[in-house]
């Protein structure tokens, strides 16, 4: 694995050099002086703190936890993830990056914008702040929130996830109440050249996601979701960091820079596709003939050296001397300029479909479910949505299952972290009867792909014992970078690895 310094390089390189208007910046935007402290300088740096973390440090482990990814032969970098393990040390990288570069800068931006009554920028910074904080809740369950902004308090209290969620919705509503659609927004990467109207739509989509996860845990939230859907002011296109990444050191898509680029001197490959996602998106009969191939497969994964799609098995490290060397596997289809998706139209449509399904409006639920698949295919740049819908049709009687599996596939190539969240919440894909030890027999170095049942998960080989069989890891342990210095940090027991978050119980 390349050094985490890559992320800092990406952040500083992009914040200072990715757009023409930033080329003259000669000071670190993360340490601004009084003369250069402006929202237009600070917002890009804060954004890249979030994009680099969300698009890489959260994406990689989630890709393994969802069984979109398996581990490549001959390396040990992510074998622990593939066994559903996350250590307190490992979990600290994302936590520190989001807090140090993202959240601290965003709070300064919010203060500056409020002082100058720049309500478009205030909304943008608030929306990004809430987005990042929700991601942290979805990792840990509890995080510092109510006391986190008090710089005189080195040991802020960890708030329960449900309380943080409620606070985030209040923050978004407060910012939305101050803004007008025509208000300007400081220079930024995410919605370049857009006024507050686009940020209002993004904030509404984030509210939809937050409230959809609250269903079953918070009273009366469904009526608020209904009102938001009736308002129908959501993004009209995927919200993503796209269009500015460059094939230059420090300016590439962060996952590409970490795993695919040789710009930092490493040629090591760690991530390959998982047998589970390949076996669902590419199905064969007993004779080995292809009976279904998802049109998005080529957009999500590259073929192997033989032009075939083959996925590895979670929880093992394939030998460099065996049958399954690097050229045997297919890899995620990543480029230096691949987008970092924040929220996609497909996700919004799936959430809306789920709302109507809960209210037994099968016709509307099916319409939005189909629209989600169509949006996913459009985002992937492929046709064939009708083919996907026919293979995985909407089923009102089992709406969580069909939405869960279809969302798992739709996010396999675009947003593994959100897929892990939704997998835990919806409980689909569920675990099948086959285990990793049946799919790959290490003593014989034999892969048994035919044993896999499409649309299921499986217990990894050498699964982390604190998680165990037929379960996915439910939360990350609290980061040692916080617990080592915060006397108010809660304890984390072995049982907590499989204790669902408040929205997944």
Q: How many helices (H) and strands (E) does the chain have?
A: 20, 10
| pLDDT of res. 106 | 96
Token pair, residue 462, equals 């050498």
Question: What does the pLDDT profile of the chain (505 residues) look like in tens digits?
Answer: 454 434 444 444 444 433 433 322 233 444 444 456 789 999 999 999 999 999 999 999 999 999 999 998 777 899 999 999 999 999 999 999 999 889 999 999 999 999 999 999 999 999 999 999 999 999 999 999 999 988 888 899 999 999 999 999 999 999 999 999 999 999 999 999 999 999 999 999 999 999 999 999 999 999 999 999 999 999 999 999 999 999 998 899 999 999 999 887 667 889 999 999 999 999 999 899 999 999 999 999 999 999 999 999 999 887 666 777 778 899 999 999 999 999 999 999 999 999 999 999 999 999 999 999 999 999 999 999 999 999 999 999 999 999 999 999 999 999 999 999 999 999 999 999 999 999 998 888 889 999 999 999 999 999 999 999 999 999 999 999 999 989 999 999 999 999 999 999 9
- Decide: 18 and 246 in contact? Cβ < 8 Å: yes
**Burial state string for 447-470 with b = 16 or more CB within 10 A and e = fewer than 16:** bebebbebbbbbbbbbbbebbeee
| DSSP codes joined into one string, 268-323 | ---EEEBHHHHHHHEEE-TTS-EEEE-TTHHHHB---TTS----B-TT----TTSS
- Rounded Cα distance between 121 and 170, Å, is 17
| Per-residue pLDDT, 239 | 98
DSSP annotation string for 138-153 = HHHSEEE-TTTT-TT-
SS3 at position 164: helix
The C-alpha atoms of residue 395 and residue 366 are separated, in whole angstroms, by 8
Question: Is 260 strand, coil or helix?
Answer: coil
User: Is residue 20 helix, strand or coil?
Assistant: helix
Who contacts 326 (Cβ-Cβ below 8 Å, separation ≥6)? 72, 73, 74, 269
How high is the pLDDT of residue 323? Answer: 78
Planar angle of CA 383, 389, 392, nearest 5 degrees: 130
What is the pLDDT at residue 444? 84
How many angstroms separate the CA atoms of 110 and 119, rounded?
9
Taking phi over 0 as left and psi of -120 to 50 as alpha, with beta for the rest, 165 belongs to alpha
Query: 370, 387 in Cβ contact below 8 A?
Result: no
- Residue by residue, DSSP assigns 379-419 as HHT---HHHHHHHS---GGGHHHHHHHHHHHHTTTT-HHHH
H/E element, 341: strand 340-343
Closest to 143 (Cα-Cα) out of 164, 125, 128: 164
Instruction: List phi, psi (to 5°) of 450.
Output: -65, -20
User: Cβ–Cβ contacts within 10 Å for residue 238, how many?
Assistant: 21
C-alpha to C-alpha distances, 95 to 52, 68, 144, nearest whole angstrom: 12, 23, 11
pTM (predicted TM-score): 0.93
């Amino acid at each position: 694995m390349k050094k985490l310094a890559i992320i800092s390089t990406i952040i500083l390189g992009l914040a200072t050099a990715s757009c023409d208007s930033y080329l003259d910046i000669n000071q670190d935007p993360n340490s601004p002086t009084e003369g250069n402290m402006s929202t237009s300088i600070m917002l890009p740096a804060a954004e890249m703190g979030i994009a680099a973390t969300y698009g890489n440090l959260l994406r990689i482990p989630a890709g393994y936890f969802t069984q979109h990814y398996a581990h490549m032969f001959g390396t040990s970098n992510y074998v622990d993830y593939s066994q559903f393990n996350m250590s307190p040390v490992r979990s600290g990288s994302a936590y520190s990056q989001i807090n140090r570069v993202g959240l601290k800068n965003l709070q300064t931006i919010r203060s500056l914008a409020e002082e100058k009554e720049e309500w478009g920028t205030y909304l943008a910074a608030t929306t990004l702040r809430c987005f990042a904080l929700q991601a942290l809740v979805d990792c840990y369950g509890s995080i510092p929130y109510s006391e986190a902004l008090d710089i005189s308090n080195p040991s802020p209290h960890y708030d329960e996830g449900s309380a943080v969620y409620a606070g985030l919705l209040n923050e978004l509503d407060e910012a939305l109440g101050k803004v007008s659609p025509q208000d300007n927004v400081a220079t930024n990467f995410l919605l370049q050249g857009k006024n507050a109207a686009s940020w209002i739509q993004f904030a509404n989509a984030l509210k939809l996601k937050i409230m959809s996860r609250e269903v079953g845990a918070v009273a009366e939230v469904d009526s608020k979701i209904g009102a938001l859907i009736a308002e129908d002011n959501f993004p009209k296109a995927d919200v993503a960091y796209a269009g500015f990444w460059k094939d230059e050191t420090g300016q590439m898509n962060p996952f590409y820079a970490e795993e695919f680029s040789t710009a930092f001197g490493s040629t090591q490959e760690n991530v390959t596709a998982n047998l589970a996602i390949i076996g669902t998106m590419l199905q064969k009969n007993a004779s080995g003939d292809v009976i279904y191939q998802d049109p998005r497969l080529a957009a999500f994964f590259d073929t192997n050296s033989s032009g075939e799609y083959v996925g590895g098995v979670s929880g093992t490290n394939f030998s460099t001397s065996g049958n399954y060397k690097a050229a045997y596997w297919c890899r995620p289809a990543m480029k230096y300029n691949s987008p970092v998706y924040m929220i996609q139209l497909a996700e919004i449509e799936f959430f809306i479909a789920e709302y109507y399904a809960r209210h037994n409006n099968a016709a509307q639920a099916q319409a939005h479910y189909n629209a989600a698949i169509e949006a996913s295919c459009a985002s992937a740049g492929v046709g064939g949505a009708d083919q996907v819908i026919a293979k995985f049709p909407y089923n009102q009687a089992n709406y969580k299952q069909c939405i869960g599996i279809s969302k798992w596939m739709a996010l396999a190539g675009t947003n593994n972290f959100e897929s892990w969240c939704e997998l835990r919440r919806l409980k689909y894909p569920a675990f099948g009867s086959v285990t990793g030890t049946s799919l790959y027999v290490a003593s014989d170095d034999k892969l048994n792909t035919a044993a896999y049942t499409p649309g299921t998960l499986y217990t990894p080989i050498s699964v982390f014992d604190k998680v165990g069989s037929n379960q996915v890891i439910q939360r990350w342990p609290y980061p040692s970078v916080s617990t080592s210095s915060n006397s108010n940090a809660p304890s984390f027991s072995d049982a907590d690895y499989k204790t669902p978050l408040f929205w997944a119980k």
